[in-house]
Amino acid sequence: MDVFAVLAEPARRRILDRLRRSESSVGDLVRELSMGQPAVSKHLKVLREAGLVSSRTAAQQRIYRVEPRPLAALDEWLAPYRRLWDDRLDALEAHLDSQE
């Protein structure tokens, strides 16, 4: 599954942002994100299929956590664009400094 397509959905990004802070159950995510349980479960399924989250069982709950490996691949792909923006911002800073 294409990580970009998965992350295009704002609700999935909100779930990932929340899971980045700590592992959580579906119930915790429902409460904290003010989303319905079916929606959270649907988004978690998509995130799990994309390899962005995994789960473990604790008593009667599934506890979800972020899996960093697919995000590392995304970060690697974005690196040249980050350098491009850094170079452009450095050039803008130099230009502004020369105007003083």
Q: What pTM was estimated for this model as a whole? A: 0.78
Question: Which CATH architecture group holds 3-98?
Answer: Orthogonal Bundle (1.10)
Domain boundaries, the chain: 3-98
CB-based contacts of 69, cutoff 8 Å, min separation 6: 51
pLDDT tier at 86, thresholds 50, 70, 90 = confident
- Does residue 56 surpass a pLDDT of 90? yes
Nearest-angstrom CA–CA distance, 99 and 58 = 61
